[in-house]
Amino acid sequence: MTQSATILPSDFIRDIIDDDLRTNKHKACVATRFPPEPNGYIHIGHAKSVCLNFGIAGQYQGTCNLRLDDTDPLGESMEYVESIIRDVRWLGFDWGERLFYASDYFEKLYSFAVELIKTGNAYVCSLNADDVREQRGTFTEPGRESPYRNRSVAENLDMFSRMRAGEFADGAHTLRAKIDMASPNIVLRDPVIYRIKREPHYRTETKWVIYPMYDFAHCLSDALEGITYSICTLEFENNRPLYDWIVERLITGSRPQQIEFARLNLSYTVLSKRRLIELVKKNYVQGWDDPRMPTVTGMRRRGYTPEAIRNFCAQIGVAKNDNLIDVSLLEHCVREDLNNRAPRVMSVLRPLRLVIDNYPENQVEEFEFANHPQNPDMGTRQVSFSKVLYIEQDDFQENPPKKYHRLGPGREVRLRNAYVIKFAGTVKDEKTGEVIELHCTYDPQTRNAPPADGHKVQGVIHWVSAEHCVPAVVRLYDRLFSIDNPGSEEDFTKYLNPHSLETLTTCYAELSLKNAKPGSQYQFERLGYFCTDLDTTAKQLVFNRIVALRDSWGKVNKESTT
Ligand code: ATP
Ligand code: MG
């Protein structure tokens, strides 16, 4: 269980649990569950729920179940189940033997429904869906009772068993809880608890043609598993009286308690599964694991770490009111974590060839670089230096502004951990006038030493040796949406950021990255944090930019150059 922080988190849910423990309400038992429906991949919002449920179980020496809430056959699949299992595990949580499927309870749920019929608490209604909706009433008007509401128990039992037997068409009948058509809470106006749906289920296949509704299945699944705290998001607040109504009628002894918290909304991001599915199905992104996706699998591929995601979830906390969290907080957590763990390397993304005129042909020097400026345990590596190098195009300007501490006519700069070089000239493309090669001279005295006259060289730039580097493709990611709350827009795809992916195909990484394994994170000095992508092969390195450095593009990153 992941519980590294010494200060235990505190929030209104943990306050409720503390109170219950004092009064021994659940016999000192704390049992939670994370109940995703396997109809999509889980995202950062689910991660918040995962951290909350597993976090509470860990903190109180309780248990947390992973339950696939698979009671609606449409859109559910084993692919999604497998992805959820992989993603929750990757986030760092362990449910031991406690993996459950709501579909395993279908028979029990059916018996519960029969019991409700027998006690006069449910009836088979033969109105179609439109009529049920129409008779439900509104916020200001009570609903009307179904003409089938007073069927006898015997008739209801007979009808319900025939529904199960497949005698009726989809939608011909439903089983409804008999509660109160005049209730101010519309949820309680005889909600449908079973419907006929001739749809094969990915686990039970064609065994069932009736399926329980979420409100009926969820609370009873919780009860069957001995859950004490059924933590869910705020949109279920109005359903809580129904949750309680059902368990009070069917469960004796300790009953689960539903507690609602505010779902995570993240700026520049959509977190509704329906919308994420649309992004995937309509190819706005390249699959669920596209590094621009807020899915756990997308974030993993991008190079985010589970520690960073857990830390983000801890920082946003748990509240009772909906709000919009700034995505830069997530990026901050990612950066903070990678700053500690990512080895530093040099790579050039937009190369400009640089020739050091007075450096001997064929000479190669090895320079020792620390892999991490603050962590000597991460060791050192040798980086080769030679006459022809690559530097970033924007580390040279023909007409630089005054405060520009990089290369330009008449200027000097230090090559990171190597020599001070001075501008000597340029070679230009005859047609375009574009600078295609830079010439400099170096001062051999300045290897790890200031110039002889002691003057300060302001700028430090990174480099790779042309003969000692590997070509790489680098994908630069930006936010997927260009407005801060795309989730509030019906037509959300209109706000996709056309520049969310830029692919650079002529980059050079230092030689030490030659055999970098997919999923390895690095800090490319001065450029940001990068991760070797899954598309990397023995022939072609591919990197994703995970997140830029705090400093803006091109500025010297203090920490890595001093
Ligand atoms: P969506 O609303 O995106 O379709 P969902 O709520 O239908 O998602 P489920 O698979 O039913 O997805 O969710 C599993 C659990 O994750 C639920 O307990 C749900 O409350 C929680 N959850 C889903 N989205 C968020 C979110 N954005 N923030 C916090 N918890 C969430
Ligand atoms: Mg749901």
Number of H helices, E strands in the chain: 13, 27
- Taking each helix axis from N to C end, the angle separating 106-118 and 153-165, rounded to the nearest 10 degrees, works out to 160
β-strands 257-261, 229-233 pairing: parallel
CB 276 near ligand 1, within 6 Å: no
The Cα–Cα gap between 434 and 29 comes to: 72
- Give the mean pLDDT of 249-256: 94
Among 42, 44, 46, residue to substitute to test ligand 1 (most atoms within 8 Å of Cβ): 46
- Give the mean pLDDT of 195-207: 98
pLDDT of residue 449: 92
CB 271 near ligand 1, within 6 Å: yes
Residue 539 covered by a domain = yes
Over 50: is that where the pLDDT of 278 sits? yes
pLDDT of residue 550: 74
pLDDT of residue 7: 72
Over 90: is that where the pLDDT of 4 sits? no
Measured in Å, residue 334 CA sits from the centre of ligand 1 at 23
Residue 127 covered by a domain = yes
Of 437, 462, 487, the residue at which a domain comes to its end is 462
Running DSSP on this structure, what letter comes out for residue 263? P
Which residue has the CA at smallest separation from atom 23 of ligand 1? 46
Does residue 22 sit in the same domain as residue 104?
yes
Does residue 239 sit in the same domain as residue 322?
no
Catalytic residues, which ones?
37, 263, 273
Among 49, 316, 325, residue to substitute to test ligand 1 (most atoms within 8 Å of Cβ): 49
Which residue has the CA at smallest separation from atom 18 of ligand 1? 232
Beta strands per DSSP E along 269-333: 323-325
CB 264 near ligand 1, within 6 Å: yes
pLDDT tens per residue across span 93-102: 999 999 999 9
Residue 505 covered by a domain = yes
Does residue 529 sit in the same domain as residue 492?
yes
The Cα–Cα gap between 304 and 138 comes to: 46
Per-residue tokens: 265: 């909304």
- Give the mean pLDDT of 476-489: 95
Say which ligand is closest to the CA of 45.
1
CB 36 near ligand 1, within 6 Å: yes
CB 273 near ligand 1, within 6 Å: yes
Measured in Å, residue 214 CA sits from the centre of ligand 2 at 8
In which domain, by residue range, is 433 found? 347-462
Of 401, 429, 462, the residue at which a domain comes to its end is 462
Measured in Å, residue 263 CA sits from the centre of ligand 2 at 12
Does residue 196 sit in the same domain as residue 79?
yes
pLDDT of residue 452: 94
Among 54, 222, 233, residue to substitute to test ligand 1 (most atoms within 8 Å of Cβ): 233
Residue 1 covered by a domain = no
Domains in the chain, number = 3
The Cα–Cα gap between 530 and 524 comes to: 7
Does residue 60 sit in the same domain as residue 151?
yes
Say which ligand is closest to the CA of 39.
1
Does residue 338 sit in the same domain as residue 353?
no
Does residue 249 sit in the same domain as residue 364?
no
Measured in Å, residue 545 CA sits from the centre of ligand 1 at 28
Of 412, 444, 462, the residue at which a domain comes to its end is 462
Does residue 77 sit in the same domain as residue 224?
yes
Say which ligand is closest to the CA of 273.
1
Residue 2 covered by a domain = no
Does residue 281 sit in the same domain as residue 250?
no
Measured in Å, residue 301 CA sits from the centre of ligand 2 at 25
Q: Is the dihedral of CA 231, 236, 237, 240 positive or negative?
A: negative
Over 90: is that where the pLDDT of 557 sits? no
Which residue has the CA at smallest separation from atom 21 of ligand 1? 46
Which residue has the CA at smallest separation from atom 9 of ligand 1? 36
pLDDT tens per residue across span 485-534: 999 999 999 999 999 999 999 999 999 999 999 999 999 999 999 999 99
Place of tokens 């400009």: 352
Per-residue tokens: 115: 């019991």
Residue 267 covered by a domain = no
Closest among 347, 308, 370, 336 to 560, alpha carbons compared: 370
Place of tokens 């519960």: 112
Q: Domain holding 339: CATH number?
A: 2.40.240.10
Across the chain, what does the average pLDDT equal?
Answer: 95
* Coil vs helix vs strand at 241: helix
pLDDT of residue 315: 95
pLDDT of residue 8: 78
- Give the mean pLDDT of 68-79: 97
- Give the mean pLDDT of 270-276: 96
Measured in Å, residue 530 CA sits from the centre of ligand 1 at 30
Model confidence at 476, pLDDT cuts 50, 70, 90, reads: very high
Neighbours of 150 (CB within 10 A): 11
Measured in Å, residue 225 CA sits from the centre of ligand 2 at 19
In our burial notation (b when 16+ CB lie closer than 10 A, e otherwise), range 214-247 reads: bbbbbbbbbbbbebbbbbbeeebeebbebbebbb
Over 80: is that where the pLDDT of 63 sits? yes
pLDDT of residue 253: 87
- Taking each helix axis from N to C end, the angle separating 214-224 and 106-118, rounded to the nearest 10 degrees, works out to 110
pLDDT of residue 158: 98
| Helix ranges (DSSP H) in 166-305 | 214-224, 240-250, 273-281, 296-302
- Give the mean pLDDT of 283-312: 98
Which residue has the CA at smallest separation from atom 5 of ligand 1? 273
Per residue, the 3-state secondary structure of 428-457, as one string, reads ECCCCCCEEEEEEEEEHHHCCCCCCCCCCC
- Give the mean pLDDT of 389-408: 96
- Beta bridge partners, 246, equal none
Does residue 56 sit in the same domain as residue 106?
yes
CB 233 near ligand 1, within 6 Å: yes
CB 295 near ligand 1, within 6 Å: no
Over 70: is that where the pLDDT of 338 sits? yes
Does residue 66 sit in the same domain as residue 49?
yes
pLDDT of residue 6: 56
Over 70: is that where the pLDDT of 551 sits? no
Over 70: is that where the pLDDT of 3 sits? no
Q: Report in angstroms the alpha-carbon separations of 455 from 283, 400, 413, 451, 452.
A: 56, 21, 12, 6, 8
pLDDT tens per residue across span 220-238: 999 999 999 999 999 999 9
Which residue has the CA at smallest separation from atom 22 of ligand 1? 46
The Cα–Cα gap between 421 and 361 comes to: 17
- Give the mean pLDDT of 8-12: 88
Per-residue tokens: 132: 């049920």
Would you put residue 13 in left (φ > 0), alpha (ψ -120 to 50) or beta? alpha
Measured in Å, residue 36 CA sits from the centre of ligand 2 at 7
The Cα–Cα gap between 213 and 219 comes to: 11
Q: Domain holding 78: CATH number?
A: 3.40.50.620
- Give me the percent of the chain exceeding a pLDDT of 70: 97
DSSP sequence for 152-167: -HHHHHHHHHHHHHT-
Which residue has the CA at smallest separation from atom 15 of ligand 1? 36
Residue 467 covered by a domain = no
With 0-12 / 13-18 / 19 or more C-beta atoms within 10 angstroms meaning exposed / middle / buried, residue 40 is buried
Which residue has the CA at smallest separation from atom 3 of ligand 1? 272
The Cα–Cα gap between 146 and 124 comes to: 10
The Cα–Cα gap between 262 and 279 comes to: 24
Which residue has the CA at smallest separation from atom 26 of ligand 1? 45
Measured in Å, residue 47 CA sits from the centre of ligand 1 at 9
pTM of the full structure: 0.94
CB 272 near ligand 1, within 6 Å: yes
pLDDT of residue 432: 96
Residue 187 covered by a domain = yes
Does residue 257 sit in the same domain as residue 382?
no
SS3 content of the chain, % helix, strand, coil (to 5): 30, 25, 45
